[in-house]
Structure 1
Amino acid sequence: MTASVSGPAEHAVTVRGSGIVSAVPDLVRASVTVTATRPAVADAFEAVARSTTAVTDTLRGYGVSGPDLATTGLSVHSETTWAEGRGNEVTGYTAATTLQITVRAAGASAPSPAQVVAACVGAGGDDIRLGGLEFDFSDPAALTATARERAWADALGKAEQYASLSGSALGEVLDIAEVDIGDVSPRPVAKAFAAADSAIAVERGEKPTRVDVRVRWRLV
């Protein structure tokens, strides 16, 4: 908490208020990489294309499409080994593509994010890797607005108390500034895992949205 009461020349009070709203995230973002190593470049690309098609078809079957399904990377590189007297020799080629997916909560009867991710991993087989999970909100503005209202109420309560303690009353608002405190919650990250037929538990928990405001009132 920050609060200050100015001297007689200015006769004002400045306080800082905080507002926090916690809610269960209603969407999950995941980074999925499909990779394959084969003796020839064409074979590596064909294997990646085949697995990627299986993954995207599965995701679309669960309603993950449009802006919720995007290719964010495509690469190929050679695999080499060092041989005595011959130096580095190419032993094959690894192709990879990365998909960014967003799974949205669609109601109690809809598949859970865990089931969708498990189906995605199962469709890709041994060629798929899950890079991580990030939980978020589809409408963060509504939560921020509520947090902002709570921050204002917090600041107002403090200012009224300081005014009373100093034998004054609150006058007009002289200045308002929203204070940036950065991300207030760690983002869950899942390590890459092999293909599985059953869903691995994905607990969304609650994620807080916080707003801090600094307000200056004239004292009368």
Structure 2
Amino acid sequence: MTVATTDHAERSVTVRGSGIVSAVPDLVRATVTVTATRAAVAEAFEAVARSTTAVTDTLRGYGVSGPDLATTGLSVHSETTWTEGRGSEVTGYTAATTLQITVREAGASASSPAQVVAACVGAGGDAIRLGGLEFDFSDPAALTATARDRAWADALAKAEQYASLSRRVLGEVLDVSEVDIGDVSPRPVAKAFAAADSPIAVERGEKPTRVDVRVRWRLA
């Protein structure tokens, strides 16, 4: 949206400029949960520990470690069944642990984030659950800076046009404010990466970064 105003008393012009930069996200954040149900609590925990070790070893093999690999949950609960005349009975125990992983795009020759996630799922087998898939940028500040450059250029071009139309000359900047427009939804595009050993294609699309700025110039 473009907003332009002229104040004849102060001889100023106020415009709003927009800058948008769209790029393919270069990292994936995902939540991985490993579960196991066994007759005894110790057996359930042991099964989860084995599967979790297989998953974390696979992730470390792809370079996912340190702050990019964290345990965020550990739980156990009983499984029960109800029968007529006997009531509720414990039939087993389910243990679970949750990992938060961040997979970064390391380069053209490296495995893609989807391949790493697929390998992780393969290592966990039927015990693994994948959720909370989120795409993001490793350096969002650089994209925001570019969007600001474009927003400023957009505002300046509009202000210069209004100055010309009003037979005046654009003077110094009097006020600058960045306008909060809220979240910008990702824009899907025909760009995907297929998970290795998996029939599922994970669509990254393009995620836009937008900056809106409101600037007031003096008119001479």
Gaps of 5+ in 1: 189-195
1:76 aligns to what? Answer: 76
Residue pairs, 1:37-186, within 5 angstroms: 37-186=37-186
CA contact (8 A) 2:186 2:205 kept: no
The 3-state SS of whatever aligns with 1:202 is: strand
2:3 aligns to what? Answer: 3
Question: How many angstroms does 1:199 deviate by?
Answer: 6.4
Whole-angstrom CA distance in 2 between matches of 1:156 and 1:114 = 42
1:32 aligns to what? Answer: 32
Question: How many angstroms does 1:86 deviate by?
Answer: 3.1
Question: How many angstroms does 1:61 deviate by?
Answer: 0.5
Q: What TM-score comes out, normalization by structure 2 length?
A: 0.90
Deviations 1:90-114 (A, max 9, x none): 2211111111111111122211222
Whole-angstrom CA distance in 1 between matches of 2:2 and 2:14 = 8
Q: Using the TM superposition, name which of 5-14 and 16-25 deviates more.
A: 5-14
- Number of residue pairs matched? 213
1:21 aligns to what? Answer: 21
Q: What TM-score comes out, normalization by structure 1 length?
A: 0.90
CA contact (8 A) 2:77 2:95 kept: yes
Whole-angstrom CA distance in 2 between matches of 1:146 and 1:57 = 39
2:203 aligns to what? Answer: 203
Whole-angstrom CA distance in 1 between matches of 2:87 and 2:217 = 75
The 3-state SS of whatever aligns with 2:202 is: coil
Whole-angstrom CA distance in 1 between matches of 2:9 and 2:197 = 72
CA contact (8 A) 2:29 2:100 kept: yes
Whole-angstrom CA distance in 2 between matches of 1:187 and 1:64 = 28
Gaps of 5+ in 2: 189-195
CA contact (8 A) 1:118 1:200 kept: no
The 3-state SS of whatever aligns with 2:203 is: coil
Whole-angstrom CA distance in 2 between matches of 1:169 and 1:187 = 39
Amino acid across the alignment from 1:104: R
CA contact (8 A) 1:134 1:187 kept: no
Question: How many angstroms does 1:182 deviate by?
Answer: 2.0
Question: How many angstroms does 1:67 deviate by?
Answer: 0.8
